[in-house]
Amino acid sequence: MSACEPADMMPERNEQLPYADALPLPVTTEAIDADWLTRALRQTLPGVTVTHAEIRDVMLGTSTKIRVGLCAEGEGASAIGDTLIVKGGFEEHSPKMAAMYANEARFYADVQRLIPMPSPQCFYAGSDPGSHQSIVIMEDLRRPGVEFCDALRPQSFEAIARRMDTMAAYHSATWQSPHFEPGGRWADIHSRFEHWGLEYMRRYLVPEVWAHYMASPRGAAVSVRFHDGEWMERALIAIGNIQAAQPRCLIHGDTHLGNLYISEDGTPGYFDAQVARTAWHHEVSYHIVCAADLADRANWERELLRIYLAALRNHGGPALDEEAAWLDYRRSIAWGLFIFLTNEVRFQTESVNTAYAARFSQAALDHDLRSLLP
């Protein structure tokens, strides 16, 4: 089954999270063995047995991606292939990221099959109340014809425009969803300016922490007009309040190029979801500025916004006023600017953080962000 098949074609998943039969979840790579994989995979493929498993690659980052080679037999084994990806918190910083890991597992367990977001096929997603751990087992996308996007390789207008269409599709599918209502299945999914997202933000606005990042290479790549930590805090509070007062939809939550791929048929794909419930422009602004080269973004962004707005209508969403949308798009630049000014090098390399910070700084200058969010 392709990673980009419609959500309603994906296999049904046990909706109870966590899955008791797979607990406790491993917190070391050594514990990812044939026995645990069998217990985890049987949550979606009850007839499968893993007879052999070996770790082939460990990719460090905010969370750890582990490529596992395996032999499996029984009903459903052919759906897995020779390798799969186990993703979770296996590093020293992982206990501090427990909420983020749980949020991603929540996406695969409870959101993916209900929205039209092209994303990897998931075989298991669960959280362990006894530890910080949440784990997703997904298909290995490393195969001929799949292109992984790269922060240091900006995208073409056509590629960004096509992604605008897919974003509009899953935004419109969840626009003011009844699942957001109290007691609804997504009532506890929050914006980036609430709960753990707010806690994350505050730790980097501490004056000495902020000063550290302004003295880094990415700080040098950003205009000194945006080195004012007090202004940044006010700007983030302002955009959070703006988004909270507007209609909400589910967003992927982190659509920088390192979390995106293009499938064999050209369909834009998404992984590493940090799903949030917020206004559409939080995601559209973030992605366009991340994806376009410094020399192109100013010439492309208004037309890309029009493409998104038209796609939103075509997919059954609302008809938004273009001028109001343009203002919202520009103000939301503040979020991406903050993220890549303060993103830690254990999450992204300094070169990646600097490239993105420079793109957001130029966009913020072009749109005089400090006058939009004084």
Count of C-beta atoms within a 10 Å radius of residue 231: 16
> Does residue 172 register a pLDDT over 60?
yes
> Does residue 336 register a pLDDT over 90?
yes
- Which of 187-201, 286-300, 320-334 shows the lowest per-residue confidence on average (mean pLDDT)? 187-201
pLDDT at 16: 38
Looking at per-residue pLDDT, the higher value among 155 and 9 belongs to 155
pLDDT at 20: 46
In this prediction, residue 194 has a pLDDT band, given cuts at 50, 70 and 90, of confident
> Does residue 167 register a pLDDT over 50?
yes
Provide CB contacts within 8 A for 209, sequence distance 6+: 203, 342
pLDDT at 93: 85
pLDDT at 362: 98
Full-model pTM: 0.89
- Which of 71-75, 96-100, 347-351 shows the lowest per-residue confidence on average (mean pLDDT)? 96-100
Sign of the alpha-carbon torsion through 312, 316, 318, 322? positive
Single-letter code of the amino acid located at 14: N
Single-letter code of the amino acid located at 346: R
Residues 19-30 pLDDT 10s: 448 999 999 999
In this prediction, residue 40 has a pLDDT band, given cuts at 50, 70 and 90, of very high
Residues 169 and 286 sit within 8 Å (Cβ to Cβ) = no
CATH numbers and ranges of domains, the chain = 7-139 (3.30.200), 147-372 (3.90.1200.10)
Residues 91-109 pLDDT 10s: 888 888 888 899 899 999 9
The percentage of the chain sitting over the pLDDT mark of 70, rounded to a whole number, equals: 94
d(CA 247, CA 256): 23
> Does residue 216 register a pLDDT over 80?
yes
Q: Which residue has the tokens 């492309």?
A: 300
